[in-house]
Amino acid sequence: DAKTTQPPSMDCAEGRAANLPCNHSTISGNEYVYWYRQIHSQGPQYIIHGLKNNETNEMASLIITEDRKSSTLILPHATLRDTAVYYCIVREDQSLGGKLIFGQGTELSVKP
């Protein structure tokens, strides 16, 4: 079963920051938070992941609350090409054989 809760859909204006929330209140100490996105008719694309510290890469920033029960994916300047379904996933550490289990995700629509 998916261990995360996400809003089913969100809109964002082009050029503005897109902030996608995720609730993972039952996360355990050895579970990481991963974000993927799936653009229509393509395979999912890895975006970013984190354990407890905030993370940033060329695609996005990940903000994890201090209690680790929720996180926010931030796309700083959304473009039309960022329209996709975004999946927040918690996964056990690799050494424990954690599997990537997808929930329903958030369908982000970036509008001009």
Partner 1 sequence: SAVISQKPSRDICQRGTSLTIQCQVDSQVTMMFWYRQQPGQSLTLIATANQGSEATYESGFVIDKFPISRPNLTFSTLTVSNMSPEDSSIYLCSVRTGAHYEQYFGPGTRLTVT
Q: Which stretch binds partner 1 (CB under 8 A): 15-23, 36-44, 63-71, 72-80?
A: 36-44
Q: Both tokens of residue 85?
A: 């379904």
Q: Please report whether residue 52 would count as binding partner 1 according to CB under 8 A.
A: no
- Least Å from the CB of residue 14 to partner 1: 26
Q: Mark 6-32 as b/e (b = at least 16 C-beta within 10 Å).
A: beeebebeeeeebebebbbeebeeebb
- Return the number of the residue (13 or 92) whose C-beta is nearest partner 1: 92
Provide the sign of the torsion angle of the four alpha carbons 95, 100, 105, 107, taken in this order: positive
69 scored as a contact of partner 1 (CB under 8 A) = no
Instruction: Rule CB under 8 A: say whether 35 interacts with partner 1.
Output: no
- Structure tokens given for 72: 């926010």
Cα–Cα distances (Å) from 75 to 22, 27, 31, 82, in that order, read: 14, 23, 23, 9
| Least distance between partner 1 and beta carbon 43 (Å) | 3
Give the number of residues in contact with partner 1, rule: CB under 8 A: 16
Q: DSSP label at 112?
A: -
Binders of partner 1 in range 75-104 (CB under 8 A): 87, 94, 99-104
Contact positions vs partner 1 (CB under 8 A):
34, 42-46, 49, 87, 94, 99-105
